[in-house]
């Protein structure tokens, strides 16, 4: 049985479709769209503890919501980091005061979050972070740089992994801090322009930014445990919604292949069929992990390897089936940002990063080798 096929889930799915048909505004302002979702009760499904969420939904109904949202071509979410990463982390590790302060604004779509993990010298090697948080009388003074920070230019808050114990190394002495972004002169956001001409990621500079003492999640020095717990939530229900988007992209590539005649090539046909089959495998693996297998060592790394490589290969296919026409944009080229790309060109260029961000393929393979296969640990260089 597929997820969401029970009678009560079909009723829920119909309710989702009716609401989306009525409310979806493709060009809606992202922040106002979050408030619309929150007011209608569609943020925080399944937050059973404390009544901080909105609607009560089973896991299968959460999947139905995520998949129908993706199928409807609803506006991109800017609140998903707060809803899908911060919120379950607070529910698992936060104090009662932290939950009461931060969960209701997330559920209402009123406060947006970004993730302060990666740094220029510590991207996939998260334990190498150097951002420091120095204890003061009423909190912490945070200094350092984060990079590849999605939605930092829109966020009200950032959860920051920082070193609170001077002289500590690797995963020791780290803390998980909640830092307000509206601190002029202390927090600076610089967009990073990508090959697509857009800026989906940012650099964030903290120059003595203030974090309150009561906004340390899990207690001082326990940041590594909290950070690893959050990464486990990153591969949840949203993975299935991501695959709906992948299926839409694959469908466009297949249609282009038929239109251009590239589908007559048996090699191209074999690659298209392989993409379809691998996407089905990813769905079954995602359903398996939702059933409890996510706790298996290496499961998140396997999922990341699967979808990162798959999506990158799809981008290559998207331009292959177009032939020489793939090199011509929909409008005259301009050095101004953003320049215009069609869907296939954007897919190809953006997907080049899929095997890097969120943990590079090399790091994922190392995790699997060490934690699943029990191979000797990779030696770490000595920090200067």
Alpha helix stretches (DSSP H) within the chain: 7-23, 30-39, 59-71, 80-81, 87-93, 96-107, 223-233, 238-260, 266-290, 299-320, 343-350, 361-371
Buried/exposed code over 309-330 (b: 16+ C-beta within 10 A; e: otherwise): ebbbbbbebbbbbbeeebeeee
Q: What is the rounded CA–CA span in Å between residue 300 and residue 185?
A: 37
Quick check: helix, strand or coil at residue 212? strand
Closest-CA residue to 157 (of 119, 187, 199) = 187
Q: Which residues contact 263 (CB under 8 A, 6 or more apart)?
A: 254, 257, 269, 272, 321
Q: Are 310 and 280 a contacting pair, CB within 8 Å? A: no
Residue 278 designated active-site: no
Q: Which of 119, 234, 249, 278 is catalytic?
A: 234
If DSSP codes are grouped into helix, strand and coil, which group holds residue 201? strand
Angle (nearest 5°) at CA 300 between 74 and 106: 45
User: Which positions are annotated as active-site residues?
Assistant: 234
């Amino acid at each position: 049985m597929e997820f969401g096929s029970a009678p009560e889930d079909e009723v829920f799915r119909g309710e989702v479709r009716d609401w989306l048909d009525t409310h979806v505004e493709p060009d809606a302002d992202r922040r106002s769209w979050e408030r619309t979702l929150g007011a209608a009760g569609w943020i925080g499904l399944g937050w059973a503890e404390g009544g901080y969420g909105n609607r009560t939904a089973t896991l299968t109904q959460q999947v139905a919501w995520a998949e129908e949202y993706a199928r409807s071509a609803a506006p991109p979410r800017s609140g998903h980091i707060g809803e899908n990463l911060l919120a379950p982390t607070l529910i698992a590790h936060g104090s009662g005061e932290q939950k009461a302060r931060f969960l209701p604004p997330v559920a209402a779509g009123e406060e947006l979050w970004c993730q302060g993990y990666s740094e220029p010298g510590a991207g996939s090697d998260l334990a190498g972070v150097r951002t420091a948080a120095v204890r003061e009388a009423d909190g912490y003074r945070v200094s350092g740089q984060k990079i590849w920070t999605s939605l930092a230019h829109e966020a009200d808050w950032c959860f920051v992994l920082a070193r609170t114990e001077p002289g500590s190394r690797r995963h020791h002495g780290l803390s998980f801090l909640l830092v307000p972004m509206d601190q002029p002169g202390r927090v600076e956001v610089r967009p990073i322009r990508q090959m697509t001409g857009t800026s989906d990621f940012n650099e964030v500079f903290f120059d003595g930014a203030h974090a309150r003492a009561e906004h340390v999640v899990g207690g001082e020095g326990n940041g590594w445990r909290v950070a690893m717990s959050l990464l486990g939530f990153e591969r949840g229900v949203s993975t299935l919604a991501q695959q709906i988007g992948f299926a839409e992209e694959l469908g466009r590539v297949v249609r282009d292949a038929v239109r251009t005649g590239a589908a007559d090539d048996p090699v191209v046909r074999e690659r298209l069929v392989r993409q379809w089959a691998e996407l089905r495998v990813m769905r079954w693996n995602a359903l398996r992990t939702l059933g409890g297998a996510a706790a298996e060592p290496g499961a998140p790394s396997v999922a990341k390897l699967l979808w990162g490589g798959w999506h990158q290969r799809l981008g290559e296919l998207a331009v292959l089936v177009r032939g020489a026409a793939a090199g011509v944009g929909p409008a005259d080229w301009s050095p101004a940002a953003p320049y215009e790309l069609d869907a296939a060109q954007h897919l190809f260029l953006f997907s080049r990063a899929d095997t890097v961000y969120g943990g590079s393929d090399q790091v994922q393979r190392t995790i699997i080798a060490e934690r699943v296969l029990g191979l000797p640990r990779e030696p770490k260089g000595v920090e200067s």
